[in-house]
């Protein structure tokens, strides 16, 4: 089997708002075609115009080749070889960041092709399943521009998540800092009040994770507040400080009363090695597209096993990435939860319309996928409606 064509599409929802902190409003859809009539689908969570340019651009020399030229005519089933060729062939422009993110979308599509060709779900091709079910946590995104609106919206989402049967929930609590919701500037005491309200709405039996989106500049700043959050029984605190601040993460690991999680923006297992060994994070959060695809995410899972860390993959995208994340989770021994953006609890149009995910959510758990490949069903009407480039 050979790759015959690669198509890329920039999709943007008709209600997209650039002032929001939500990357599920847009996506880069990658379609890889083969001479056997099999099509693989992938996406990645980065600026879709940039990813499209990286995939579609012509090469300039041997250290900066065209991704399409590297792939056309090659065997899509030799995924590790294709990954290595893409990484080395685009190293001057790529190697980290958006270049690796773009490779992630391609890699995702190649795994989809291989699964369809062999009539097996992707997790089987990756080595089988280590779990019979996976527990997803519902990610809650606040609304409003005042403290009261912010708090009340999260309480409402939390109650809905509980009623939908979720056993775990992650709440954004970001009313100041570089990615503050709607530019809010509330003090840390107000963040504590929000957490108190969300925990009360959930009850004691539901796991609670908290994402503060790089809110504090130093571990010292963070610890002044989070040491008071022990009473809320938080499973993990996500990205309290900038991911490059490895010494601060190491201190958070030693002194915070909950597990510390990070890694959503990292590309390649090399960056995760530093975050795990120097930053001492408890929970590694590879995003399947951003890290470089399922091929590279598998390397991160091996790091977690080596250093006795937990994997909880990040995913704030459409059903394509959500399905890929589920397959990764089933194949990852150290994976305790996955992030899940429920269509019933979000406003993101592409999450609701672009594709049907390839698994069943039942009794608060993701059931083992059975369909070949990623198992998704693409909605071509949505592709046509939301494609802008």
Q: What is the pLDDT of residues 262-318, one digit of tens each?
A: 999 999 999 999 999 999 999 999 999 999 999 999 999 999 999 999 999 999 999
With beta carbons less than 8 A apart as the criterion, state whether 169 and 137 touch: yes
Res 304: pLDDT:
97
C-alpha 359/C-alpha 345 separation (Å) is: 18
Q: What is the DSSP letter of 123?
A: H
Res 344: pLDDT:
86
Beta-bridge partner residues of 138? 169, 340
With beta carbons less than 8 A apart as the criterion, state whether 145 and 182 touch: yes
Token pair for residue 143?
Answer: 């609304």
With beta carbons less than 8 A apart as the criterion, state whether 336 and 129 touch: no
pLDDT at 343 over 90: no
Per-residue CA distances from 173 to 43, 98, 220 (Å) = 27, 27, 19
Beta-bridge partner residues of 172? 211
Res 17: pLDDT:
86
Pure H helices in the chain: 48-56, 67-71, 79-89, 97-118, 122-125, 147-163, 188-202, 219-226, 246-255, 269-277, 288-291, 294-306, 319-330, 349-353, 380-386
Name the band, by pLDDT with cuts 50, 70 and 90, for residue 336: very high
pLDDT at 345 over 90: no
Name the band, by pLDDT with cuts 50, 70 and 90, for residue 44: very high
Token pair for residue 127?
Answer: 């080595």
* Segment 179-207 mean pLDDT: 97
Name the band, by pLDDT with cuts 50, 70 and 90, for residue 64: very high
- The answer to whether the pTM exceeds 0.95 is yes
C-alpha 234/C-alpha 108 separation (Å) is: 32
pLDDT tens-digit series, residues 212-223: 999 999 999 999
pLDDT tens-digit series, residues 5-40: 999 999 999 998 888 888 899 999 999 999 999 999
C-alpha 98/C-alpha 263 separation (Å) is: 15
With beta carbons less than 8 A apart as the criterion, state whether 75 and 2 touch: yes
Name the band, by pLDDT with cuts 50, 70 and 90, for residue 347: confident
Token pair for residue 16?
Answer: 């997209």
Q: What is the DSSP letter of 170?
A: E
All domains in the chain, ordered by first residue = 3-119+381-386 (3.30.390.10), 125-380 (3.20.20.120)
Res 53: pLDDT:
98
C-alpha 147/C-alpha 157 separation (Å) is: 16
Res 21: pLDDT:
82
pLDDT at 261 over 90: yes
**In percent, how much of the chain has pLDDT > 70?**
100
Average pLDDT, the chain: 97
């Amino acid at each position: 089997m050979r790759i015959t064509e690669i198509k890329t599409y920039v999709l943007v929802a008709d209600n997209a708002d650039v002032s929001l902190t939500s990357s599920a409003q847009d996506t880069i859809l990658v379609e890889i075609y083969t001479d056997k009539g099999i099509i693989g689908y992938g996406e990645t969570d980065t600026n879709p115009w940039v990813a499209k340019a990286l995939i579609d651009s012509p090469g300039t020399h041997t250290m900066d080749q065209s991704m399409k030229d590297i792939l056309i005519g090659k065997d899509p089933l030799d995924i590790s070889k294709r990954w290595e060729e893409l990484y080395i062939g685009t190293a001057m422009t790529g190697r980290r960041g958006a270049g690796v993110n773009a490779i992630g979308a391609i890699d995702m599509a190649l795994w989809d092709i291989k699964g369809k060709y062999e009539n097996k779900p992707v997790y089987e091709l990756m080595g089988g399943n280590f779990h019979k079910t996976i527990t997803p946590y519902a990610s809650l995104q606040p609304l409003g521009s005042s403290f009261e609106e912010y708090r009340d919206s999260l309480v409402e989402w939390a109650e809905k998540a509980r009623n939908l049967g979720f056993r775990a929930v992650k709440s954004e609590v970001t009313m100041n800092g570089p990615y503050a919701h709607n530019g809010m500037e509330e003090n840390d005491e107000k963040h504590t009040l929000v957490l108190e309200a969300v925990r009360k709405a959930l009850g004691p039996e539901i796991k609670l994770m908290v994402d503060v989106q790089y809110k504090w500049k130093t571990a010292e700043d963070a610890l002044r507040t989070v040491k008071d959050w022990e009473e809320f029984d938080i499973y993990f605190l996500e990205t309290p400080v900038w991911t490059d601040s490895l010494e601060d993460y190491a201190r958070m690991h030693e002194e915070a009363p909950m597990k510390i999680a990070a890694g959503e923006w990292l590309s390649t297992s090399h960056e995760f090695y530093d975050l795990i060994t120097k930053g001492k994070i408890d929970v590694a959060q590879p995003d399947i597209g951003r890290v470089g695809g399922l091929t590279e995410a598998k390397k991160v899972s091996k790091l977690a096993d080596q250093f006795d860390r937990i994997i909880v993959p990040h995913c704030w995208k459409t059903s394509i990435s959500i399905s890929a994340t589920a397959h990764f989770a089933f194949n990852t021994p150290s994976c305790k939860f996955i992030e899940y953006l429920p269509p019933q609890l979000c406003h993101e149009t592409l999450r609701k319309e672009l594709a049907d995910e390839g698994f069943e959510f039942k009794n608060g758990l993701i059931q083992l996928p059975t369909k070949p490949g990623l198992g998704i069903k693409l909605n071509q009407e949505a592709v046509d409606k939301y494609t802008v480039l």
